[in-house]
Structure 1
Amino acid sequence: MLRLLLAQLLMGLAISVSSAQTIKVASIHHSRLDAGSDDKGYTLNGATMIKTALPKLTNTANFGPGGKVPYSLSITHTFTASGSITATSLAPFDILFIGPTFGGSFPVTQAEQIAIKAWSAQPGKVVILAEQPANYPVTAYYGYTLREGNTDPTTVRPGDSVTKLFTGVFGEATSMTQGGTSQGYFSTDCFSTVIATNADDKPTIIFASATRDVLIADTDFFTIVGNTMSEGPVIDPTNDTDKFWGNLWAWAVNEVVKPGAVSNPVAASVTPACSGTNGTITFTSPVGNTSDGQAYQYSINGSTYQTNPTFTNVPTGTYTISSRTSSACPVTSGGTVTVKGPPDAPGLGALIQPGCGATTGTISLTGLPASGNYVLTRTPGGLIPSATSGTTYTDKEVGQGGYSYMVTNADGCSSPASALINIVASQAPQILRVQLQLPSCGKANGEVIVTARGEGSLTYSLDGINFSSQPVFKNLTPAKYLLTVRDANSCSSTQALELIQPPLPSIAAVNVVVTSCGGANGAISLTVTGGVKPLGYSLDSTTFQPNGSFTNLRSGTYRAIVKDSVGCTSGVTIPIAPSQSPTIDSVRTSQTACGEQTGELTMYARAASAMMYSLDSVYFQNQPFFARLKADRYAVYVKDALGCITKTMAQVEEDCSASVSMPSAFSPNQDGLNNNWTIHFRPARVTIMNLTIFNRWGEVVYNRKEFELSSGDPLWDGTINGQIAPAGVFAYHLDVQFDPQRLSRYSGTVQLIR
């Protein structure tokens, strides 16, 4: 039985079509095998599959207009002659089913294997390959080793999210069994996705991701030899093999109609992206070892391989990456990767500085990439959209300050920054630095501190009218300002400023969890907007925490405060309502008779809602009365409608003052041991109102009335009318008067032993 990997191979794809279409299927004819081969029937038109697998594909209720899959399968059993499988003969078909391909006269040739794999590599061309473990030329050409095993069943393994095979339109399949004398499995993993495994965790169904084909380790899943697939055209919804077979072909049809992207298992990354002569190429797939323990080998030139997936100190250039394993797996190419090199930093040509009264200058750059299609960036200033080609560029109307330039070429590689280029108006002051302290808490407490240099003494203004020799402005409100710095020559520089009032913290919402059962289990959760992060939260205005959730609170009134990093606060008063548990006022009990369960217990409690009562805290009842109790110490529980529980203890006592005990046998043989049938009780003396003893036939053999005894006195000495009674079992009735109000009656048997 196979444990199928549910998440493998997207069988669940819904096939949506606007009109019916016929899918052309090729199947290798059973006559391709030797006439005497036992496996001659292991093809779609062979004896072992013609009653099970084939009719389910030609049933239009399964595949055809109006069927579960709205495509008809036109199946041609062909390729009878050796060498008949070619690119030309395969071209008309969409799906190729291959059963066992071994046999003495007509095995699949190497040229045919090459043609099959090349045909399958085309989008929309699908191979379903199910060879037998004894020989597997096509499977081997795919790069896999097919072994004979002896293991059933197997379990489901989670697969990838792209190709799920076993949850399709014919229902979910979870388990299949291989038939025959041996069970096949794949022992080599060559860049595949394992779909199903056997009980030894060996792959039995795999998805060859490079060609999007399905390889199955044993044809006997679908033959009468396997005895797991039902006969006839109907896909049995209770038969996992039937459902898998239908889903497999539904997936193949969908792959023909909407070919999936071929997965290339070889991939590598280049770091740094633009390294020049010291690039690193690291293979990201495949890594580690194959499922049978073979190490992967890697190459960036197609000839030299190494086991380390990382290649260092790689110069600029384009490299073909490929991978292989140490034995049977073929080389798999991953395409090319490019180690890119950065361009040179832009050079400085002419520099024109602004004069007094002017605010901009001109910078001419040289040495830009001759190939064009570059991006030129100025810092500060950002992207220069007009600079995309040409080896020189003139940057006009550049404001005062220091600038560097960087160019990014068509490969996306960026140059180092150019040398710093300063635009300086020799007769205008320079604003070197402006420090802003934003106003907070709704107050006029903003501040601007200016650092500048220029000719002579500098004056400063925030409105262009009122100037001061001090570069500090205090008590500012939120507003936009135009900073002006003016030198002794009346040359000035300006800079726009804006003082923004950060939003004040505000408690936007309060969520309260009230206490229950009178405990400290209330909670408050605050939702706060605004404020300068980080925020602090408190319920006592002293201790602040970094979040607005408070737990384990008792009932009461709380003052919640939120404070931001500049000291602005907001508060709200929050009540938490009280709660209480049920109260047990008393528990009354009545005694149980000695050794019996006749005791009773009644609880007297009060609560704000309906109450329920229990003696074990599990099963509760509506009534406070409990009967048929034995002597014991009981934990009693009362629960109200809110689930609050109160517990106390109660004792049920036992009354053994009116009980007697008598042996079940005695031996009146005068040996000094158990010579009499005696009676024991707690009082000093009791009155025997009646003692009657019967033999086995119900005849009275002894009777005595109204006599007193002490505990331990004999009731009967084992004689009948003065004669020794025979050994046997005797019945008795006994009435005991403990006091005038209590008369107890006992019946039973006693054995007389000789």
Structure 2
Amino acid sequence: MVRLKYWFSGYSGPYTYEVFDSSSASVFGVVNANTSTNPEIVTGITGGSYTVVITETASPFCASTSSVVIASPLDALSVVATETSNVSCGNGQGTITAVASGGWGAYEYELTGAATVGYSSNGTFTNLSAGIYTVNVRDAGGCIASDGVTLVIPPPINATVTANTPLLSCFGDTATITASLVTGGQGSNYTYTLNTIAPTASTSGPQTSPVFGNLRAGTYQVVINDGYNCVFTSANIVIDEPTPIQASLVKATSQTCFTGTTLTLSATGGTGTYEYSDSSTFGTVIGTFASSVTFPVTDGTYAYYVRDANGCISNVSNEITIDPLPALIVNLDVTNATINCAGDSTGVIVATAEGGLGSYVYTLQDTAGNDITPAPTQNSPGVFTDLPVGNYQVQVDSGDCLTTSAQISITEPAAPLTAGGAGRARGSSAPTGGSRHPPGVGSPRRLQS
């Protein structure tokens, strides 16, 4: 809108004026005025061609008509101010850009409000903090237009960050951490970074997905960023795991002649009650136990897998082989099981045991199984000396194993040795009776039970 200004001369007093547009239509109707206000200013007129009729309402009652053309730009001056970058979560980084149009051109821009910047040809205002601003634009004709902008600090980013489980089922399993319900900041354009704090510090990302998978036990932290440089850091997220299942196999008791071998299988780690099998597929579950189990076995090789209440399976235990118990036997050396001279007690029986459980105890018996009393001398285990003529057997004890040798007879000459009769040369008597071989000489015999 523009103003029409006109002056009076040669008349003073009251008058009327009426303004007609190019179509001869009255713009305001008849308006009363007085030369006491001179010049008269008519406002509210747009650009165009007008005719003004002035009539004196006092003597001499003259009238005057004038034409006037009011120049105008094609469009009214206007300005649009917009926020072109946010102040960010750190504040002080906002930008307002103003673009003017219409009017007479040659625009100058001014910023007022939370910050003031004087008129210049630059319509971009930077490094602005949060607040209310007005941008004024002035054209070459001195016309001014304005627009307002409010810069706001974005709300802080907030999110819920959780692991799908705080405790893994099995040692070595993995978990997933997800950031959800993300709000604040720019409202979009979020990126996600995973910081591993323990056991070994590392960083993964940034990425646009809020999901981090295949995570082993450890301590983690999720950082969320956006285009406004807003930052959210989650609390530490701890993923625990049970200790690994360790299976151990020991021989609880060794086999004897009357009892079998027993093994004890024990386990640590994992969760809850254990079950065990000789196959990693657990096609057959042999039994269950809380911390250990003892069971009998026969000869063979044994190793077991242990599975806990969560279905976690241990590595195979150590291996134990149970060999067959060797039979207890007695070997006899009867080389000296003879009496050299009738009536002597010089017989020797040597018994040597094999197999069984070791720790052999030798007992000399008669053939009825009665222990010889008093017990004969044993210079070393199994060596019986100073034995008289008779029938014997040797019993061997080895733990709870027991065996008896074959029977042995200690013999002597049929009659005592006597001197020769008449007719022999002196000093050349021939012996009768007694052994044909001196002690230790002869053909040895070896008996085995």
TM-score range, shorter chain: 0.3 to 0.5
Higher-helix-fraction structure: 1
- State the TM-score, normalized to the length of structure 2: 0.33
Which of 1 and 2 has greater Rg? 2
- State the TM-score, normalized to the length of structure 1: 0.21
